[in-house]
A = this chain, B = another copy of it.
Amino acid sequence: MQEQLIHYIRRFITVTDEELNKIVSCFRPLEAEKNELLVVAGQTSQRTFFVGKGCIRIFFITEEGQEATRYIAFENNMATALCSFISNEPSLEFIQALEPSELLCISHEDFYHLLEVIPAWEKFHRHYLEKAYVNNTNRLMSFLTLSAKERYRQVLEVNPEIVRRLPNKIVATYLNISQETLSRLKSKI
């Protein structure tokens, strides 16, 4: 799993072996069961997760009391309740394993220590933040500006693995619609 993380990091930055060892040594392995909650809203999230195997999702509860899934990370991606990770304040979001998962996680403290001692980590974090900003804004804006049908078309185009791999119940929360509406859209498109 460390090899996967190294490959992921080297896609964004150039680092010496020594720096890479220091970075990788900050990530600790964690196994999660299917449906296990890794972060609960209200709790201060102090970890960023790299998915070696399996899948995790980040979700929140809407004004109507429904779960809305903001982000799903499959293998070879990182995810966190980023607002809480950055600000060290309580999370508005939940993080849950959707499948039995093998993860690597880094604490807020270690992550920000690496920013101080490894200049290239600053660049890594910048790429991560840029990607997260664009993803996150697009996702939340899609809830506010697109119809259910447009959101469904978008996920089929941008992230079809979500529809192929995950149960309808989860896909519906990703689109912020009911399972009945999802079934209707599936039969039409």
A interface residues, Cβ below 8 angstroms from B: 60-63, 68, 82-83, 86-87, 92, 115, 119, 122-123, 125-126, 129-130, 132-134, 136-138, 140-141, 143-147
Which B residues touch A134, using CB under 8 A? 83, 86-87
Q: How far is the CB of A75 from chain B (nearest CB, A)?
A: 24
For the complex, give the distance between the alpha carbons of A177 and B22 in Å.
50
B145 in contact with A144 (CB, 8 Å): no
B144 in contact with A140 (CB, 8 Å): yes
For the complex, give the distance between the alpha carbons of A112 and B61 in Å.
37
A144 in contact with B68 (CB, 8 Å): yes
Given contacts A119-B119, A125-B126, A136-B136, is CB(A145)–CB(B83) below 8 Å? no
B126 in contact with A62 (CB, 8 Å): no
Which B residues touch A125, using CB under 8 A? 126
Q: How far is the CB of A129 from chain B (nearest CB, A)?
A: 4
A144 in contact with B63 (CB, 8 Å): yes
A136 — nearest CB in chain B belongs to which residue?
Answer: B137
Which B residues touch A115, using CB under 8 A? 126
B86 in contact with A145 (CB, 8 Å): no
Q: How far is the CB of A181 from chain B (nearest CB, A)?
A: 14
A129 — nearest CB in chain B belongs to which residue?
Answer: B129
Which B residues touch A129, using CB under 8 A? 126, 129-130, 133
Q: How far is the CB of A85 from chain B (nearest CB, A)?
A: 10
